[in-house]
Amino acid sequence: MQTRSRLILFITLVSLSLIIFSSSTILADYFAFESTAEAKTIGTSNSNIKNHIAKSTDIVVKEIDEQFLITDPSKLIYITFDDGPTEYTPAILQILDQYQIKSTFFMLNNNVQKHPEISKAVATAGHTIGCHGVTHKVSEFYKTLTSPRDEMTTCGKTVEDVTGEHVQVVRVPFGSFPHLTAAQKTELDKAQYVLWDWNVDSNDWSINNSDKIVQSVLKQVEKFKGRQKSPVLLFHDKEVTTKALPIIIESLQAQGYLFKQITVDDEPLQFATKK
C-alpha cells in the first residue's frame, strides 16, 4: 500500500516537472517572438521564430510603403473585371491571390445566379463585388429614367442573397457615356450607388491575343505617370485575360505600382454624363 502511494507520488511529481518544463519552453518562445531584440540576445536557434519576426517586419514595411504611396494616386492601380462571374473567374482569383492583390468584380445578375459558388469565392477572397446590371443591352438598360437603377437593385439583391455582400459600387454597361443621362445618374445616386467607369481598356473583349493585351495595357498605364490620377483597368473574366494578367501584374509591381480594390471611400472615376 505504502509502496503504491509512493509510486503515485513519484509519477505525479514527474508529470508536474514535465508540465512546468514544457510551459517554460512555450513561454520562452513566446517572449522571444514578442521581442526582436530579445530574440537576438537569446540567439535562439528556433528558425520558426526568426521567420515569424521577418514576416512581421515585412508586413510593417509594406504598410508604411502603401500609406506613403497613396499620396501619389498615379502609383495606385484599380483592376476591375466586368460581365462575370464566368468559368474563368476561379483562375483569375488564383492569380490575384498569388500576387496578393485585391480587385473589383462588376457582376451581371444572371451570371451570379449561374455561378453561385464562384460568386461566393470572390466574396470570401475579400474582393469588392459591384453590379453591372441584368440585361447588358443598351435598348433595355437605358430604356427609362429608372431602368438603370432598377437593374442594379435586382442585381444587388441577387449578389446579397448569394454572397451576403451588400453592393454599393456599380458600373453601367458600355460605360456611362454616352448612354446614361444626368437624370438616370441622379436616380443611381439617390439609391446610394457609387458609379465607376474606367480609363484603361484592356480590350480583352475584342482582342484574343494576350501579348497584344499586355502591350496595350502597359502602354496606356505609362501615360498616367505624373498625372496624379489612378489608372482604372477594365478587364473581363475571359480565358485570354488569365494569360495576360500575370504578365501585366508582374511588370507593374516591378515598376512600384500598388493595387487596390474599389471601396465607397475612393473618389470614383466617372465619364461625363450626357445632359
Nearer to Zn ion, 33 or 81 (CB): 81
Which of 83, 165, 187, 204 is the binder for Zn ion (CB under 5 A)? 83
Nearer to Zn ion, 39 or 107 (CB): 107
Of 139, 141, 144, 121, residue with least CA distance to 131: 141
CB of 225 to Zn ion, least distance (A): 28
Cα separation, 38 vs 47, whole angstroms? 15
Cα separation, 239 vs 91, whole angstroms? 9
Nearer to Zn ion, 173 or 231 (CB): 173
**Window contacting Zn ion (CB under 5 A); options: 70-78, 80-88, 94-102, 216-224:** 80-88
Residue 151 binds to Zn ion (criterion: CB under 5 A): no
| DSSP characters over 181-214 | BHHHHHHHHHTTPEE---SEE--TTT---HHHHH
Cα separation, 135 vs 169, whole angstroms? 18
Q: What share of the chain is helix, strand, coil (3-state, %, to 5)?
A: 55, 10, 35
Q: Which three cell numbers stand for residue 83?
A: 460581365
Nearer to Zn ion, 242 or 257 (CB): 242
CB of 212 to Zn ion, least distance (A): 20
* Residue pair 188/152 in contact by the 8 Å Cβ criterion: yes
CB of 36 to Zn ion, least distance (A): 50
CB of 174 to Zn ion, least distance (A): 7
- The CA angle 205-136-248, to the nearest 5 degrees, is 30
CB of 56 to Zn ion, least distance (A): 42
3-class state of residue 265 by DSSP = coil
Nearer to Zn ion, 82 or 197 (CB): 82
Per-residue mark of binding to Zn ion, 159-198 (x: CB under 5 A): --------------x-------------------------
> Nearest residue to Zn ion, using CB?
82
Residue 82 binds to Zn ion (criterion: CB under 5 A): yes
Cα separation, 10 vs 5, whole angstroms? 9
CB of 203 to Zn ion, least distance (A): 13
CB of 172 to Zn ion, least distance (A): 9
Nearer to Zn ion, 75 or 127 (CB): 127
| Total of residues contacting Zn ion (CB under 5 A) | 3
Q: Which three cell numbers stand for residue 34?
A: 514578442
Interface with Zn ion (CB under 5 A): 82-83, 173
